[in-house]
Structure 1
Amino acid sequence: MAVADFSSADPSGNTMQGSKASTISSGTDISVAHERAILRKIDLHVIPWLALLYLLNFLDRGSIGNAKLYGLEKDIGIDDRQYLTALTVFFFPYALLEPASNVILRRLKPSIWLSSMMLAWGIVMTCHGLIKDYGGLVTVRVLLGVTEAGLYPGIVFYISSWYKRSEMGSRVAFFFSSATVAGAFSGLLAAAIANMDGVGGKTGWEWIFILEGLATVVVGLMSYWIIQDFPDTAKFLTEQERVFVIRRLQDDMKLSAGGEAFKKDYIWQSLKDWKTWIASMRLFYHVSPAADAHLQWEFTWDWFHATQANLLSVPVYAWGCILTCVIGVLGDRIGSRSYINFTLFTVGLIAYAILIASKSPALSYFAVYLAVSAIYPIILAWIASNVEGAYKRSVTLGMAIGFGNINGAVTANIYRAQDIPWYRLGHGIVLAYIGFGLICSLLYAVLLKQENARRDRGERDEIIEGIDNDHGHERNGIFKSVEEAKTVKGDDWSGFRYTL
């Protein structure tokens, strides 16, 4: 397969050395066994640390729920309505800033942007332990949304810069499974830290914020040296291995892997693409894990003590962790993510239907397992694998995940204290959301399949100078070479096929 010459720029937009670019375009011989060894090396250097970052991110984001269990509202003099408002204001800056954050990540080094983001939100999280009133709570929640914005879509985009489309699902799943680990660990950690109540004149919930925030600051500082950037500069790979990784990505239709200079057109390509908007709506109507604090509230019924509630959440999140990894690997193995996606939404519909109808704590607890089964194994690799062009993919992922997180502002307000213990209003709204999400997923799959069929029939063929093609048409563009068409059009190129 012909490989485009991407010698003009590296992933940060800087000019690459000519000798290096020529090596990339000429290819290199690597055995299958060596290829597997390279992938294992990438897995060990990239995924575990990202999982740690997201684990801390999820811990910090959800710590306000634990603080509520240990007296936050009473100590700072707020009611349930004010608490829900504080939850809500977090999601707006968090969601709105994600696309811009991904563009910045692409232009800067991930080691700088991700680490700086983490350091900033660690400081803000620590300040949560110093608040004294409602105004202070709202302020730190807004700042937390600003400083955390972009981590999740940034990491998903970053992973997509290292792996082929058929390899992404399992890697994203293993990274994302840290959220479920955090969900389980959060309750245990909070229960332990709460025992510090009175130490240094501070309450247990204040220590939850302070200690978790300081841990984030430490890891953020370490990240400047631990996070690798993009494949062409990875220090843990040899020169030959770096060339091979870029070449195999280019052969997998990730033609921008060797570098892509920033152009505003790439952003507009994403904003004008129907896939961006349908994918965004699909995630908007998916139950956002970031907003899933009600799972913890499920266990705060009158017959449970706060510590018991936290402990009961542990096996639920453990189940979510296992299933997330299984679904990620399964998607890569079978090569079709649409049917898995449809199944997850269906399970979610069943789960929330049970929660609405249930009058038994045991049955509701079972339904929560089903809900987690549908919530956590989000098929983000399906979105990332269908967008070519580093900047376009970064904006598309930022938009899609940003829409999903706006959902958090809704779900933060529909699980109200007065609805204890069954929360039928909240469950009903989430059920409707999942139904719309399933519709969006079906539409996404149908349109992708139709577009692939059009390309198979030659309806999207470009005119390539020097090549006779009866299907070529001016409306699809006129290019000097196939390589130019690939580079300019990205996933709009007639030879690109979407994955279902």
Structure 2
Amino acid sequence: MSLNHEIKIDGQRSENSHVAEHTIDERKLVRKIDLHVIPWLALLYLINFLDRGSIGNAKLYNLEADIGINDRQYLIALTVFFFPYAILEPASNVLLRRFKPRIYLSTMMLMWGMVMAFHGVIENYGGLLTVRVLLGATEAGLYPGIVFYITSWYKRSEMGSRIALFFSSATVAGAFSGLLSAAISKMDGVAGRSGWEWIFILEGLGTIAIALASYWVIQDFPDTATFLTQEERAFVVRRLTDDLKLSAGGESFCKEYIWQSLTDWKTWVANTYFSNVSDGPLYAFSLFTPSIINQVSFRATEANLLSVPVYAWGCFLTCIIGFLGDRIGARSYINLSLFGVGLIAYTILIVSRSPALSYFAVYLAVSLICRKANSVAWVASNVEGSYKRSVTLGMAIGFGNINGAVTANIYRAKDRPWYRLGHAIVLFYITTGFACSVLFAVLLKRENARRERGERDEIIVGAISDRAHERNGTYNNVEEAKVSKGDKWSGFRYVL
């Protein structure tokens, strides 16, 4: 790896020719980054997922009866969460890039922790709607923000496993949520409050504590990271730019980058892709798994406890898939295989009349959660330019979250115990997402072929060029073309 040209570190230009390649062990440096970046992000997402889905556990401990709401009102309360959550995500990602992640992510978490605690003092339907809207607004941006943040630290061949490690905390949250809710429910009657109220209050206070610690734990971007030496920061930025992540050394905000994202076909295929398969089924699974298990002849506490091994299996599988995607690089084939498992799972859930068979199918259905980290890494790997990537990921994940408003309403009480309508709608999502994944792979492969044939070549001043390529732009040198065009540069190759 060559480190013999200037890069921007801590806002200054620094000549790094004196930093010999052999003076820094790249593998040790990556492990150092892993230890400082990934564990805390995983903890934040665990808390995020735990707080978001705890209402599904609280429901089993008389939430509806205590505040006087019916099943339709409960579903509406789940729905309203997703509108501010989805709408605010794309803008949130741009703000994260412009401001320090340490301040932005920590403040976001502090605010939703307070809202979470307020869930425990509501007394009626209006109060429930209010806190759910506020929770959606304050949680917006954490997931796409963390994904974008991770992509700013790692090469394209490294992102899948790191996103999987961070995302696996969602499956841990699913398991831990059942255990925690079952334990906290034992506080029913303490200080005159119900078990479900204590679930919200204690989880909210825990979130606030983690948020306060985050102000000191979270690092910013590689070019300013305090846990790295000057030489290590230069090395990290250079290894990223060598991986065609040319914005790693710092990128000034420009409206053009947002326009590049909005006019890129990958943004819109990714939007359809995430909207139709990633987030809709994911939220349906996380919000209703306890109820699905409960309605096939298991009691509330048993249902929460039986969800634990399901999520534990999902956590293990998520990590395996993430590492496999980085190792073999065939992210499209991995996705399609997991789609197939999901199709089998929900077909079984639709036709099953056996509690044991339905419970087995839930283990297969968790593959939809396992696949998401690989999908995010696939999209992120094919978008260059930090602001462009932040907008693309923010839009894809944000629009996908709108489907949470749909799937929050498909598991109706009148359809129990088998919830066939809900399972059929999720099956439709999976089928549509399968088609979008195939389309995404075909179009990426076609574009790579065009670049191999020279159809996307730019004109470089002073070099021998085909004037027919004027439509691809004219640049003073190759570096200018790289920085200006990002993944549209003729030398950039998309990964499948």
Counterpart for residue 30 of structure 2: 39
**TM-score, with length taken from structure 2:** 0.96
The Cα shift of 1:87 comes to 0.0
Which SS does the other structure have where 1:469 is aligned? Answer: coil
**Structure 2 partner of 1:290:** 283
Name 1:320's counterpart in structure 2.
314
Alpha-carbon distance, 1:122 to partner: 0.2
How far apart, in 2, do the equivalents of 1:471 and 1:246 lie? Answer: 35
Does residue 342 (structure 1) correspond to residue 336 (structure 2)? The answer is yes
Q: 1:474-489 maps to which residues of 2 (within 5 A)? A: 474-489=470-485
The aligned counterpart of 2:11 is: 16
Unaligned segments of structure 1, at least 5 residues: none
Q: 1:27 to 1:486 in 2, by over 3 A?
A: farther
- Deviation per CA, 1:155-185, whole angstroms, max 9, x where unpaired? 0000000000000000000000000000000
Change (3 A) 1:86 1:5: farther
Report Cα offsets for 1:377-410 as digits up to 9, x if no partner: 3121000000000000000001111122111111
The alignment partner of 1:280 has SS state of helix
Look up the equivalent residue of 1:266 and give its one-letter code.
Answer: Y
Contact 1:462 / 1:472 at 8 angstroms: preserved in 2? no
Counterpart of 2:298 in structure 1 is: 304
Aligned match of 2:41: 50
Structure 1 residue matching 2:408: 3-state secondary structure: helix
Q: Which amino acid aligns with 1:326?
A: I
Taking structure 1 as the reference length, what is the TM-score of the superposition?
Answer: 0.96
CA distance in structure 2 between the aligned counterparts of 1:44 and 1:376, rounded to whole angstroms: 22
Say whether the 8 Å CA contact 2:342–2:367 is kept in structure 1: yes
Cα distance between partner residues in 2 of 1:3 and 1:457? 31
Deviation track 1:337-383 (CA, whole Å, cap 9, x = no partner) reads 11001111111111111111111111111111111023333121000
What is the rounded CA distance, in whole Å, between the counterparts of 1:6 and 1:92 in structure 2? 45
SS at match of 1:298: helix
5+ unaligned residues in a row in structure 2: which ranges?
none
Query: 1:266 and 1:303, CA in 2 relative to 1: closer, same or farther beyond 3 A?
Result: same
Moved more, 339-348 or 159-168: 339-348
1:444 to 440, 449, 454: 440
Partners of 2:203 and 2:127 lie apart in 1 by 18
Alignment-derived partner of residue 465 in structure 2:
469
Q: How does 1:18-417 map to 2 (within 5 A)?
A: 18=13, 20=14, 22-23=15-16, 26=17, 28-31=19-22, 34-288=25-279, 289-292=282-285, 293-301=287-295, 303-378=297-372, 379=374, 380-417=376-413
- Contact 1:69–1:306 (Cα < 8 Å) also in 2: yes
Amino acid at match of 2:45: Y
Going from structure 1 to structure 2, the CA distance change for 1:3 and 1:476 (only over 3 Å counts) comes to: farther
Distance 1:389 1:4, change over 3 A: farther
Contact residue 4 and residue 484 of structure 1 kept, 8 A: no
Match of 1:427?
A: 423
Change in 2 beyond 3 A, CA 1:240/1:6: closer
1:468–1:279 Cα change, 3 Å: same
Question: What CA distance in whole angstroms lies between the structure 2 residues aligned with 1:460 and 1:471?
Answer: 12
Q: Residue 302 of structure 1: CA displacement?
A: 6.1
Please list the CA deviations of residues 115-154 of structure 1 after superposition, one character each: whole Å capped at 9, or x if unmatched: 0000000000000001000000000000000000000000
More off after superposition, 402-411 vs 306-315:
402-411
| Aligned-pair identity (%) | 71
AA at the equivalent of 2:429: Y
Q: Measure how far apart 1:6 and its partner are.
A: 7.9
Change in 2 beyond 3 A, CA 1:474/1:302: closer
Query: How many Å separate the matches in 2 of 1:434 and 1:272?
Result: 26
The amino acid of 2:351's aligned partner reads A
Aligned residue for 2:417, secondary structure, equals coil
Listed one character per residue, the Cα deviations across residues 405-431 of structure 1 (whole Å, up to 9, x for unaligned) are 111111100000111111100111111
1:469, distance to aligned residue in structure 2 (A): 2.9
Q: Distance in 2 between matches of 1:114 and 1:225?
A: 12
Matched to 1:425, the amino acid is L
C-alpha separation between the residues in 2 aligned to 1:471 and 1:2? Answer: 33
How many residue pairs align between the two structures? 491
SS of 1:97's equivalent?
helix
Asked if structure 2 preserves the Cα contact closer than 8 Å seen for 1:282 and 1:441, the reply is yes
Contact 1:119/1:220 (CA < 8 Å) preserved in 2?
yes
Q: Indicate how the Cα distance of structure 1 residues 3 and 413 shifts in structure 2: closer, same or farther if over 3 A, else same.
A: farther
**TM superposition shift of 1:67:** 1.0
The C-alpha deviation readout for 1:442-499, integer Å capped at 9, x for no partner, is: 0000000000000000000000001113376110000001010001100000000000
